[in-house]
Structure 1
Amino acid sequence: MSVPENKSGGSSLDKALSLLQEVCMTPVPLRFAELVEKTDLPKATAHRTLTSLADKGLVRFDEESQLYYPGYGLLELAHQAWASMDVRDIAADQMKALWQDTGETIHLAVLDRGEVIYIDKLESQKSLRLFSAVGKKGPAYCTGVGKAMLAFLDEDSLTQAIQDQSFIQHTETTLKNETELRAALSQIRSSRVSLDLEEHEDGIQCAASVILNHNHEPIAAMSITAPKFRVDDARFQHFQTLVKDACTKVSIRMGASASN
């Protein structure tokens, strides 16, 4: 069933969206007459539509200046939209691209009470047996995805997460204590790249990066994992670039600023 159009052309929804876009996208707040001119709507239609948008909290009219501003209700809508996004769906194409580009195992993980939970995984196209499995938990202090997320926690959350770490020595290169971990996290915050250099499993290394939301909070991390024997330094450096770029793209989709 088609949406009826009125005499000025376009549905009521089209007109509301047109006005909302003008209010939100203009660098300088506009008056009613300017909005009418920009949208080419009849005054009565524009007034009625703006009133409806204001009632919903989507635009805000300042009586003193006679200017229209974006409404605070837009923030609530944005928050609900971001909260309802499933990072697995949002990251799926980037995981697949990494898998196709590298032929190695790709992980997607979240952080839960100081532990890593793997929520998605694309298996290597080559022979490789790893600790990880979807739904399985792992330590955060000695995994690439874990450190990637720890690095972007606020201080209170990080302090609690560090207290939750066991600092068991899985290999000779496993970080031994809070001091070593905090030093590593400082570097990760600067580079946006987190490395696992055989810290959890001998012979296995990975390059990871964080996925942030609109509040600059870590909500997940992705990694490329491969055995050390088949990845030289140049290729491993390339992995770091690939995973950082992929996570940046997913972060932007989750509402993070491109400059974060």
Structure 2
Amino acid sequence: MTISVERAFGLLRIVCEADRPPRFSDIVGISGLPKSTVNRLLATLGDQGLVRFDVEDKCYRPGFGLLSLAAGTWAGLDIRRAAADEMAAMLAELGETVHLAVLDGDEIIYLDKLESAQSIRLFSAVGKRGPVYCTGIGKAILAELDEAQREAIIAGLAPRPYTAHTLTSPETLRAELEAIHRRGCAYDMEEHEEGIRCVAVAIRNFRGEPIAGLSVTSTASRLAGTRMTDEIRPRILAAGRRISAALGHLPTPC
């Protein structure tokens, strides 16, 4: 990177990261560069739409050109691509089917599925929809939505019992979602398909919003005992954090 480019990026960072919009003299003082150099570089950044000069208060602000650059960046961070390596690693390590899905209204839509070598007949398929209230991924996402969004979805549900284990009461579902939020993952205990269990986590975007979910799914016999809690839960929690990080999510410091 040339010195001029480095200096231009330095000025851009000053404008974007300032607590208040800086004036020309502020930028000169912070950068330590000659006035003529700062003037020339700010003019170049302005021509590219990366900074803008506010005539009224005589200060510099981030330019709207940054929005188009950001939009292109975030559009390129495809969820499937971000999750691909983690999904493949979990399939190899755990030997169980791995799903990726997103929320759409009161349903989830499966975006990707890596199937186990085990002969298991599952409802899921790429492009297929599933109910939000009794699938692991659906519950994992629902538990991490803000209260208004979550309650709006719950209020609009007309839950039906897919199995004897399906949670059809709004009160029971709310209690389950609170438990999911506390432990960081959801368990589907044969709630959608008889004999099928899963462990699921929400995936967050750069705003911290739960935009997708990841799950490990198998038969109740293969996910018996403490395997869901002791083996799969820590593995999928770590995968969910890494995928979220790849999408720009920065966890809130403790």
Bin of the TM-score, shorter chain as denominator length = 0.7 to 0.9
Return closer, same or farther for 1:137/1:241 CA change in 2, 3 Å cut-off. Answer: same
CA shift digits 1:109-138 (9 cap, x unpaired): 011120111110000122211110001111
Structure-2 separation of matches of 1:164 and 1:131: 24
Structure-2 separation of matches of 1:255 and 1:122: 24
1:259 has 2:252 as partner: yes
More deviation in 105-114 or 19-28?
19-28
Structure-2 separation of matches of 1:60 and 1:249: 36
**Counterpart residue number, 2:190:** 198
Report the secondary structure of 1:229's partner residue. Answer: coil
Report the secondary structure of 1:96's partner residue. Answer: helix
Do 1:140 and 1:165's aligned partners in 2 also have CA atoms closer than 8 Å? no
Instruction: Select 1:20's aligned residue among 12, 33, 44.
Output: 12
Structure-2 separation of matches of 1:223 and 1:173: 19
Question: What does 1:190-229 align with in structure 2 at a 5 Å threshold?
Answer: 190-229=182-221
Return closer, same or farther for 1:157/1:130 CA change in 2, 3 Å cut-off. Answer: same
Shift of 1:143: 0.5
Structure-2 separation of matches of 1:259 and 1:140: 27
1:71 has 2:67 as partner: no
Report the secondary structure of 2:127's partner residue. Answer: coil
Structure-1 separation of matches of 2:112 and 2:178: 27
Unaligned ranges ≥5, structure 2: none
Unaligned ranges ≥5, structure 1: 1-8
Do 1:205 and 1:227's aligned partners in 2 also have CA atoms closer than 8 Å? yes
**Counterpart residue number, 1:240:** 233
**Counterpart residue number, 1:32:** 28
**Counterpart residue number, 1:5:** none
**Counterpart residue number, 1:88:** 80
1:110 has 2:102 as partner: yes
**Counterpart residue number, 1:153:** 145
Report the secondary structure of 1:31's partner residue. Answer: helix
Shift of 1:27: 9.4
Structure-1 separation of matches of 2:178 and 2:71: 29
More deviation in 135-144 or 72-81?
72-81
Do 1:148 and 1:209's aligned partners in 2 also have CA atoms closer than 8 Å? yes
Return closer, same or farther for 1:126/1:24 CA change in 2, 3 Å cut-off. Answer: same
Shift of 1:233: 3.2
**Counterpart residue number, 2:161:** 169
The alignment's C-alpha RMSD in Å is 3.1
Structure-1 separation of matches of 2:27 and 2:9: 17
- What is the TM-score with the length of structure 1 in the denominator? 0.80
More deviation in 221-230 or 44-53?
44-53
Structure-1 separation of matches of 2:200 and 2:63: 36
Return closer, same or farther for 1:181/1:83 CA change in 2, 3 Å cut-off. Answer: farther
Instruction: Select 2:121's aligned residue among 103, 107, 129.
Output: 129
Shift of 1:64: 11
Structure-2 separation of matches of 1:253 and 1:23: 26
